Each structure stands twice: as C-alpha cells, then as structure tokens.
Amino acid sequence: MTSMMRVEIGQQPAALRATIDSLLPRLDEVAALAAQTRQVLFIARGTSDNAAVYGSYLIQAHGGRLATLGAPSIATAYRSRVDLDGVLAVGLSQSGQTEEIVETLGWARDCGARTLAITNGAGSPLAQAAELTLLTEAGTEQAVPATKTFTTQLAALAVLAIGLGADLDPGELRAVPDVIAAMLAQPADVEPIVAELAKVPGVVVSARGLAYSAALELAVKLKEACYLHAMGLSYADLLHGPIAVVDAETPAIILAAESGPTLAGSIELAARVTGAGARAYGIGGGPRLAAACSLSLPGPALPEWLAPIGLIVPGQLLTEALARRLGINPDSPRGLSKVTQTD
C-alpha cells in the first residue's frame, strides 16, 4: 500500500508550480513592504525553521542584507522589547496556527518591524497577523512529516529574496518544478542505502551553506519518521569535534549542490569519513561527491541557489522507504501531530 507521504512527495512538482506562478507576480508588493528595511528576521520552529535557514543563506549570499533566525522565547518567555526598526520580520508556519509564531510576529510588529508571513494556511492567524502574506499552494498535507509544504516554503523564500533585490533569475526558479518532476519520474534506487541504514542506530546528516537547510530537514525527517538518532550539522561544525561520533555504527549522509563554494569541502568530508572506516552516503554533489562516497543518490540539475529544493527530494524518498523497512507508518509517527504548539 502506498503511503500518503509517498503520494505527497509526488505532488511536489504541481505544488511548486502553483506556488511559483502565484507568488512571482507579487515581487513589487514584497519590494514595497521592505523598502524601508535593511535586514530580515525569520521567526519559525521545526521544519519551517529549517526552511528559514535557506532563506537566511540566500538573502545574505545574494541579497546583500543581514538575515538572522529569531528566538521566539525572547518574545513569549522573556517578554523583552527589542528595537526592530528597519527590520522585516518573516513568520513561517505551514499551518499558520502555531500560536508562538503568531505571537512573536505580533511582538516584532510592536517592536517596530514590518511583517510578512509565509504559510500554507489561507486565512490563518499568522496570515491575519502579517501586513503581507506569501501563501504557498501546497494544498492539504495529510502525512505528518512535511514534504510539499517544506519545498513550497523554499520556493516562497526564493521569491522573497528576489523581491528584496537579490540578483537571481526568476526563469531559473520557474524551471524547478520540471526538474523535480524529472527526478520523480525516474527516482534513484534508495534501497541499497535503506538496507544499510536499517541496521544502524544513528546517522549524521551534513552540508554547508545553502544546502545546510536540506541537511537539517532530512535529519528531522529521519528522526520523526524512522526514529533514528539523526544529527543535522554543518560540516564546519562537524569537524570541530562531533566528527568523533562518525564510525562503523554511525554513518554520514552528505548533501551538496553540483556546484558552488561548499562542494569541495563536502567531497573532503566524504573522503575523511570513508577513510576512517565509516560509511558515507552522498545526495547530489555530482560525480565527484559520488566517487568519494560509499553509496550515493543523484541530486537535481539546478543552480546552487535553488538546489536545496531538489536535494531534499531524494532524502524524502529515502526516509519514506526506510520507515516502511523498519515497520513504521511514515504517515503518522508516534507522538506527533500536524500542528505543534509550543509556549
């Protein structure tokens, strides 16, 4: 029986196409809202926070603005007041119903920020709290592990970056759904990696730069859908000590775009992992990363700035297949619900 998670993975090209077609015409609205701002503050939790990591790297690398991840507890627990004049606060929540994110976006507005929401929830509390909403067109997502709502958030963040003045080609963004569709039409065989991961208690998932968001998201998916002890780490942080956990019982999954300034480091990490007698599994990175890894899955034929949208797809397929191999229903992992509330 096909899982709902697998069905929704397959719905991503259509969801991405609808989202991109809906949001690209709104670049002028984004530019107008952000006209008096100089930096961006992202407000999110969980998978949406992983998406925000992509937005942070993208805006800083290509948009020339400082972009940081906010700490909602500053607003909701410490009740501190911060000068946010000149800040564009961006709240991300797939449902738009996470009260902590809604409250923190309101706090940001009261502290002087302009406010924007990215959500799949039309008419949701988050959408109502923001001055401008970029609504993703993922449709209803029934499986608890987020798939199409994550990738459409990344697409919305790409639109945001362009609206903020990043010198990026909207035509390349419009090509993403077709690239994802081609990946899904002939998916790589994940079973050899699944067979090995089914025998280990944990895994390190690593990348750097723009691809880091996809590594963090894959680690979350492996934890929530497969109950695997998965650590998502920048490879720079991994080399500062945690590399010691990588051994015969703890392999590494390494994600990279096929080009860009972090590819060489990803290849070096794979060589170090295998040289230490551990297994390294590559996702993306082209033939050079594949050659340095024990096993690998091809990534998307996308420029680095868009690669994370495609890099997560093989990871989603890997997660879904591993959950089934382990006898877990990937649609409804234990202890989780579709909307999570935090204080």
- Rounded Cα distance, 212 and 49, in Å: 12
Helix or strand holding residue 314 (H, E):
helix 307-325
Q: Order of strands across the sheet with 39-43?
A: 66-69, 39-43, 87-93, 114-119, 132-135
Confidence of residue 340 (pLDDT cuts 50, 70, 90): low
Query: How many C-beta neighbours within 10 Å does residue 279 have?
Result: 22
- Rounded Cα distance, 199 and 97, in Å: 38
CATH number of the domain bearing residue 232: 3.40.50.10490
Considering the entire predicted model, what is its pTM? 0.95
- pLDDT score for 338: 44
Q: CB–CB of 304/257 below 8 Å?
A: yes
Q: How many domains does the chain have?
A: 2
Give CA 19 to chain center in angstroms.
Answer: 16
Which residues pair with residue 134 across a beta bridge?
118
The answer to whether residue 337 sits within a structural domain is no
Q: What is the pLDDT of residues 266-322, one digit of tens each?
A: 999 999 899 889 999 999 999 999 999 999 999 999 999 999 999 999 999 999 999
Domain range holding 41?
4-183
- pLDDT score for 192: 98
The answer to whether residue 107 sits within a structural domain is yes
Q: Let me know whether 162 and 251 are in one domain.
A: no
- pLDDT score for 248: 84
Q: Let me know whether 157 and 116 are in one domain.
A: yes
Q: What is the pLDDT of residues 184-200, one digit of tens each?
A: 999 999 999 999 999 99
Residue 158 has pLDDT above 90, yes or no: yes
Residue 339 has pLDDT above 70, yes or no: no
The answer to whether residue 272 sits within a structural domain is yes
Establish how many alpha carbons lie within 13 A of residue 300's alpha carbon, considering only the half-sphere containing its beta carbon.
28
Q: CB–CB of 126/99 below 8 Å?
A: no
